[in-house]
Amino acid sequence: MNTLNADLHCHSTASDGVLAPADVVRRAHANGVDLLALTDHDELLGLPEAAATAAGLGLRFVPGVEISVSWLDQTIHIVGLAVDPANAALAAGLRQVRDGRDGRAARIAGELERIGIGGALEGALRYVGNPALISRAHFARFLVEAGAARNVHEVFLHYLARGKPGYVEHVWATLDEALGWIKGAGGVAVIAHPGRYRLSHAEMDIFFEKFRELGGDAVEVSCGAHDGGQLLAFARMARRFGLLASRASDFHGPADSPVDLGRAPPLPPDLTPVWSKLI
């Protein structure tokens, strides 16, 4: 079970990925992925195209989503797997989260203008594939084009991250809402890339506890954002909190992502993979 090549978190042009949903699926298939979830930010739009392409290739496909959540003063991402894309409450909840993005994008552009980088909203919009979904990744691509940094990774070291120019505070969904939408749509809830959150050990424990309490199922142990130490640390958290383990590239595009589709490290063999619930 742990040797299946599962990749349960990636992005298409329906959010801030650079490949169309069909091309994400074709690339995953070419990379030897056996089980794929497309998990665009706050959006289900890419799922029909991805599912149809996967069916044509004989690749097992899981409809997913990555929901933006505010918890304490942090942005946390919760992946929903095997959600019913036709669920009305999920669709309405995601629409509400997406709707906040336009005003935030205007504020980001305003902040960049203040440090002398003009035209950022128009510039970012040129990289947007889905007008309902503008993300910091689109601003990052514009900032590379404008010569502000050499690549997307470096943009986030100097801009768009908390404490840097171009960052604005924003309130996303609550953890209760995100879990409610995912569970209500028949899905499995997964903590995305926990190694990225600036939480103390005590806060991380409280967060995992709360996630469990709300019916959360799994945590990304192996993911593109984790180094080897973080993989081991979150494997221990999965054991302590009795959570299933997920494996995720968080692929956004060939030039944007350190880990390609299907290439995240294997899970420690004693953990129960989240796909035991999916296949």
- Asked if residue 135 lies in contact with residue 16, where contact means CB atoms within 8 angstroms, the answer is yes
Residue nearest to Mn ion (CB): 77
| Binding to Mn ion, residues 69-98 (CB under 5 A) | 77
10 versus 59: smaller Cβ distance to ligand AMP: 10
**Helices 88-114 and 136-145, axial angle in degrees (round to 10):** 30
The distance of closest approach from Cβ of residue 220 to ligand AMP in the complex, given in angstroms and rounded to an integer, is 13
Give the residue among 44, 36, 84 at the shortest CA–CA distance from 249.
36
121 versus 223: smaller Cβ distance to Mn ion: 223
Is 68 a binder of ligand AMP (CB under 6 A)? yes
Q: Which of 137, 173, 243, 245 binds ligand AMP (CB under 6 A)?
A: 137
Is 136 a binder of Mn ion (CB under 5 A)? no
CB atoms within 10 A of CB 237: 17
The distance of closest approach from Cβ of residue 41 to ligand AMP in the complex, given in angstroms and rounded to an integer, is 5
The distance of closest approach from Cβ of residue 250 to Mn ion in the complex, given in angstroms and rounded to an integer, is 4
List 68's β-bridge partners, or say none.
77
Give the residue among 10, 147, 137, 8 at the shortest CA–CA distance from 82.
8
Is 41 a binder of ligand AMP (CB under 6 A)? yes
- Asked if residue 88 lies in contact with residue 63, where contact means CB atoms within 8 angstroms, the answer is no
39 versus 273: smaller Cβ distance to ligand AMP: 39
| Spatial distance between the Cα atoms of 185 and 149, rounded to a whole number of angstroms | 41
Is 153 a binder of ligand AMP (CB under 6 A)? yes
Q: Which of 7, 16, 40, 256 binds Mn ion (CB under 5 A)?
A: 16
- Asked if residue 19 lies in contact with residue 48, where contact means CB atoms within 8 angstroms, the answer is no
Is 252 a binder of ligand AMP (CB under 6 A)? yes
Is 12 a binder of ligand AMP (CB under 6 A)? no
Q: What is the DSSP string of 28-53?
A: HHHTT-SEEEE--BT--TTHHHHHHH
The distance of closest approach from Cβ of residue 256 to ligand AMP in the complex, given in angstroms and rounded to an integer, is 7
Q: What tokens were used for 142?
A: 């514009």
Is 136 a binder of ligand AMP (CB under 6 A)? yes
Show the DSSP H helices in 201-250 as ranges.
201-213, 228-241
- Residue 81: C-alpha distances to residues 22, 67, 161, 164 (Å): 19, 11, 27, 33
Is 250 a binder of Mn ion (CB under 5 A)? yes
54 versus 108: smaller Cβ distance to ligand AMP: 108
Residue 190 binds which entry of ligand AMP, Mn ion, none, with Cβ cut-offs from 5 to 8 Å by kind?
none
Is 43 a binder of Mn ion (CB under 5 A)? no
| Spatial distance between the Cα atoms of 205 and 50, rounded to a whole number of angstroms | 36
Find the part of the chain contacting ligand AMP (CB under 6 A) among 133-141, 179-187, 208-216, 271-279.
133-141
| Spatial distance between the Cα atoms of 117 and 108, rounded to a whole number of angstroms | 11
| Spatial distance between the Cα atoms of 12 and 10, rounded to a whole number of angstroms | 7
16 versus 49: smaller Cβ distance to ligand AMP: 16
Residues making contact with ligand AMP (CB under 6 A): 16, 41, 68, 135-137, 152-153, 156, 252
